[in-house]
Structure 1
Amino acid sequence: MDWGMLASYWPFVLALMVTGVASGLAAGLLGVGGGAIIVPALSLVLSVLGYDSDVVQHVAVGTSLAIIIPTGLASARAHWKRGSLDSKTLWLWVPFIVTGTFIGGLMAGLFSGDVLRIVFAVMAFVIAANIVFAFQTRLMGHLRGSALTHRIAAFVVGYISALMGIGGGSLSVPTLVAFGATMHAAVGTSAAIGVAIALSGTLGFAISGWGVAGLPPLSIGYINLAALLLVAVLAALFAPLGARLAHRLDQKALKTVFAVFLVVVGLNMLWKVLAG
């Protein structure tokens, strides 16, 4: 199928455009990479359009990772220019986070769509609880000096991020803070870590989905090129608007809203599992 034939899929295109706008606004407003928005949104869009439930979640997760590549590069570059990127920690994490993400991407093909939904839901609940109660620093703070702990954490963050389809910021930022990094350094380093996660995870999902039947048009494995283009471009355009809105709103309230959003998304994912 070529790009011209995509015109017959206008509901798909329109829904992708709405997803791009929403994920861009959320990324700027809430300080997240957008994966927490993109995955459930793409999953909903593809489900409504009648694609198989197993294929839907895999495409949503794999494509979300691909979308994070350009947005993550731009974010990492901005943080590097401001000196808020810890290169020592970055190079300590990268080999292990790349390994964890690539393995997660390859193994995703072995899991059903429902398994991926459960992983997303459980981790959404954990991330939401950590936003509200900040328990990770208390649990892991005493391990901050251990290089081995950094490497294990990097592998786990990479593996889980691949199965969720996120850039890992919701996991890596609180982990780096728990290990003693300042918030600015954690956010900047996490942006670069997110690029490594996205590159490795995208490759894994492209390979594991190669030749799978029932994929949406213009897909390479579990990576949908139409969604990659439309969502990434619109997300990049609308993220600055979200950032401007964020500076006008109470940050504590925003964190609470994001935590509630994650719980609602997690419950919706579990409902799909139980209803299916």
Structure 2
Amino acid sequence: MLAWPLVAELLLLGSATGFLAGLLGIGGGMLLVPFITLLLTLKQFPPELIVKMAVATSLATILFTSIASVRAHHARGAVRWDIVRRFAPGIVLGSLIGAQLAKLLPARPLTLLFAAFVAFSATQMLLERKPKAARQLPPASGMFGTGGLIGVLSSLVGAGGAFISVPFMTWCNVPLHTAVATSSALGFPVALAGTVGYIVAGWDLQGLPSGTLGFLYLPALAVVSTASVLTAPLGARVSHSIDVRKLRRLFSLLLYGVAAYMLHRGLRS
């Protein structure tokens, strides 16, 4: 049973993550993974399992937040479902493989990989780099391969895949707002396959704490996903009334701090 202080901390984390995701259009994994890692560390969970549990739990929350996001984008006709169908098979396979790779990886390289991912995302956000449209979407084999890469990396870092799919689609002459909307739909197969993969990967593992299903920490999933789904629409509404560019730059500095924490944790583990 969860202690009330931990429930309050998870509610605050979920609320902040959902609001910022709606406000800035960022993936929640960049915040969820390090903060769940910190909370589980304070709870004295086994150190070799903490980051894997945080990544798995972060992925599972995307199941709920992506549905709310996709409904809003679909209502505006912004989702390219033909692209989703072409990406999805590779994404599902890649996400399943990524979860198995995470099981095999020691905690240190997985933590360092996440630190590098956050630092890269922060730099992209700070510089506001957008690839120039230079080509068309590839044939089915190219979409499958790209989807596989998105799935593997997303499953390893607990993210929805927008850090690859949005720049890739923009590079392939898909308008930015369409790429963002379509990427939100791709988050669901990433999260579903990744979640299943982490459940299977940790199913027979010894030493997992109570409240887990494979690598999933169910209490954190329930509290964080509920709070984030409720606050994400509020953040989206606020984003239409203010200039979020300066906020994105400030948030990128916070992400550098998050990357530094995960780097420090990885180097001393």
TM-fit CA distance, 1:191: 0.9
Kindly indicate which of the two structures has a greater share of residues assigned to helix. Answer: 1
Moved more, 123-132 or 50-59: 123-132
* Secondary structure of 1:137's aligned partner: coil
The alignment status of 1:254 with 2:247, answered yes or no, reads yes
Query: Following TM superposition, by how much is the alpha carbon of 1:134 offset from its aligned partner in structure 2, in angstroms?
Result: 5.1
Report the count of equivalent residues.
268
Partners of 1:171 and 1:262 in 2: how far apart?
18
Would you say 1:130 and 2:116 are equivalent positions? no
In structure 2, which of residues 168, 172, 179 is the aligned counterpart of residue 179 of structure 1?
A: 172
Judged with a 3 Å threshold, the aligned counterparts in structure 2 of structure 1 residues 251 and 269 are, in CA distance, closer, same or farther, namely same
Deviations 1:204-232 (A, max 9, x none): 00011113234343110011111111101
Which amino acid in 2 is paired with 1:226? P
Is 1:91 aligned to residue 91 of structure 2? no
CA distance in structure 2 between the aligned counterparts of 1:149 and 1:260, rounded to whole angstroms: 35
CA displacement, residues 148-174 of structure 1 (integer Å, 9 cap, x when unaligned): 443322211111100000111232222
Residue deviations 1:65-117 (CA, integer Å, cap 9, x gap) = 11110111121122122110111211110101111111001221101222211
Q: Partner residue of 1:53?
A: 47
Structure 1: distance between partners of 2:233 and 2:225: 13
Give the share of equivalent positions with the same residue, in percent: 35
The alignment status of 1:144 with 2:126, answered yes or no, reads no
User: Superposition pairs for residues 26-175 of structure 1, below 5 Å?
Assistant: 26-133=20-127, 135=129, 137-138=131-132, 141-147=133-139, 148-175=141-168
Letter in 2 for 1:122: A
RMSD: 1.8
Secondary structure of 2:131's aligned partner: helix
Indicate if the aligned counterparts of 1:98 and 1:200 stay in contact, CA closer than 8 A.
yes
Task: Please give the alpha-carbon distance, in whole angstroms, between the structure 2 residues aligned to 1:228 and 1:111.
Answer: 23
Relative to the length of structure 1, the TM-score reads 0.90
Maintained 8 Å contact 2:122/2:256: yes
Q: Does 1:189 align with 2:182?
A: yes
Counterparts of 1:145 and 1:240, CA distance in 2: 31
CA separation of 1:116/1:143 partners in 2, compared to 1, >3 Å: closer, same or farther?
Answer: farther
Distance 1:159 1:143 in 2: 24
C-alpha distance in 2 between matches for 1:87 and 1:243: 22
Question: In 2 relative to 1, CA 237–80 (structure 1 residues): closer, same or farther, beyond 3 Å?
Answer: same
If the length of structure 2 is used for normalisation, what is the TM-score? 0.92
The SS at the match of 2:134 is helix
1: CA distance, partners of 2:239 / 2:137 = 34
Matches for 1:196-207 after TM superposition, within 5 Å:
196-207=189-200
Corresponding position: 1:243 with 2:217: no
8 Å CA contact retained: 2:90, 2:143: no
CA distance in 1, matches of 2:127, 2:252: 11
* Alignment correspondent of 1:17: 11
Do structure 1's residue 224 and structure 2's residue 226 form an aligned pair?
Answer: no
Q: Is the 8 A contact 1:57 1:113 kept in 2?
A: yes
5+ unaligned residues in a row in structure 1: which ranges?
A: 1-5
| Mapped partners of 2:52, 2:222: distance in 1 | 18
Q: Secondary structure at the match of 1:215?
A: coil
Summarize the alignment of residues 262-273 of structure 1 with structure 2, pairs less than 5 Å apart: 262-273=255-266
Runs of 5+ in structure 2 lacking a partner? none
Asked whether the equivalents of residues 155 and 194 of structure 2 are also in contact (C-alpha less than 8 Å), the reply is yes
Q: Is the 8 A contact 1:26 1:37 kept in 2?
A: no
How far is 1:143 from its partner?
A: 4.5
- The one-letter code matched in structure 2 to 1:220 is L
